[in-house]
Amino acid sequence: MRAEDIAEAIRIMETELPNDVESALVRCRNEEEGISREVLEAILENVRIAREGRVPMCQDTGSLVFFVRSNDRCGEIFRAIEDGVAMATEAVPLRPNIVDPFSRRNTGNNLGRGNPMIHVEPSPDGRVWIGILAKGAGSENVSAATMLDPDQSVAGIKEFAVQAVRKAGAKPCPPIVVGVGVGGSLDEAALLSKRALMRRIDEPSADAFVSRLEGELLREINSLGIGPMGFGGKNTALAVRIEAADCHTASLPVAVSIQCWALRRIFLEADGKDVRIRR
């Protein structure tokens, strides 16, 4: 995996919306009326201009989150990711978003302590797999996490997720995608909620119970009536995606990662020297 492959994947991710997300926006546009429909038409026009002009679809090009599957050469992969981010920051270009949390000094190239964020797990087939997510601050700033009492169970999970969206209102630029992480520990739940955003809009959970819960949450969230960009309507969210892990018997961690309509994600797969980019 070369830095040039990473940089090209970032360029595509920032300038071309995945087809499943664009299709969901078209569906929502067709369901809405009045100013809510006009807002979605403007969003879709923005998507077209970005794709045809090869320019970022949002001025906030996000902080970059990498999900890596590999059994070896992680040092090489990390260097390729860091070099690729620096290359893409200059070439796409990306807005330099990464700052020191205390002094607020900007690093200028989207690199810094703990950035880009890279999460690694073993690869079951030995291939290198990299998923990239661009997370804008407008939606990240309204994400939330909590430790529920275990007896709050599924009802508590649903209430927390819906209230997180209600509190966010129009800030995350709806229609949003809602990633929910359940279980593990507090930090694991937050990571799971971001992993959930890597799933396609048209890809419900393979677990029948979780899939049903995703549907129930989507209906409850859309019943809030926040609508596109907060102008009201039927579509506050495009989808809810849930990822879960087993947890301590005395804990029930829950995290909600809210993502704006510009769900920018992309994947790279490497088998030897052959690298394939897919949406």
pLDDT, tens digit (0-9, with 9 covering 90-100), for 192-232: 999 999 999 999 999 999 999 999 999 999 999 999 999 99
Confidence of residue 273 (pLDDT cuts 50, 70, 90): confident
Please tell me the predicted confidence (pLDDT) of residue 279: 85
Is the model's pLDDT at 272 over the cut of 80? Answer: no
Note the maximum CA span of the chain.
54
The DSSP secondary structure of 217-269, one letter per residue, reads HHHHHHTT---GGGS--S-SEEEEEEEEE---TT-EEEEEEEE-S--EEEEEE
Is the model's pLDDT at 46 over the cut of 80? Answer: yes
Please tell me the predicted confidence (pLDDT) of residue 37: 98
3-state SS assignment for residue 89: helix
Is the model's pLDDT at 1 over the cut of 90? Answer: no
Cα angle 269, 271, 272; round to 5: 135
Task: Tell me the pairing of strands 176-183 and 237-245.
Answer: parallel
Please tell me the predicted confidence (pLDDT) of residue 184: 96
Q: What is the 3-state secondary structure (H, E, C) of 20-81?
A: HHHHHHHHHHHHCCHHHHHHHHHHHHHHHHHHHHCCCCCCCCCEEEEEEECCCCHHHHHHHH
Confidence of residue 75 (pLDDT cuts 50, 70, 90): confident
Please tell me the predicted confidence (pLDDT) of residue 109: 96
At position 74, the amino acid (one-letter code) is C
pLDDT (mean) for 148-163: 97
Residue of 74 and 138 predicted with greater confidence: 138
pLDDT (mean) for 161-178: 98
- Chain centre distance of CA 154: 23
Confidence of residue 269 (pLDDT cuts 50, 70, 90): very high
pLDDT (mean) for 171-194: 97
| DSSP state at residue 155 | H
Q: How far apart are CA 181 and CA 244, in angstroms?
A: 6
- Mean pLDDT over the full length of the chain: 96
The pair of structure tokens assigned to 87 is 């290359």
The pair of structure tokens assigned to 181 is 């992480």
Q: 108-128 pLDDT, tens per residue?
A: 999 999 999 999 999 888 889
Nearest alpha carbon to residue 238 among 59, 35, 17, 16: 17
Q: How far apart are CA 63 and CA 137, in angstroms?
A: 8
Percent of the chain with pLDDT over 90: 93
Is the model's pLDDT at 83 over the cut of 80? Answer: yes
3-state SS assignment for residue 243: strand
User: Assign residue 66 a region: left if phi > 0, alpha if psi is -120 to 50, beta otherwise?
Assistant: beta
Cα angle 259, 119, 160; round to 5: 40
The pair of structure tokens assigned to 161 is 């997720």
Whether residue 116 contacts residue 133, with contact meaning beta carbons closer than 8 Å, is answered with: no
Percent of the chain with pLDDT over 70: 100
The DSSP secondary structure of 181-196, one letter per residue, reads EEES-HHHHHHHHHHH
| DSSP state at residue 204 | -
Q: How far apart are CA 251 and CA 151, in angstroms?
A: 9
Q: Which domains does the chain have, with CATH numbers?
A: 3-17+57-136+263-278 (3.30.1330), 138-259 (no CATH)
Is the model's pLDDT at 71 over the cut of 90? Answer: no
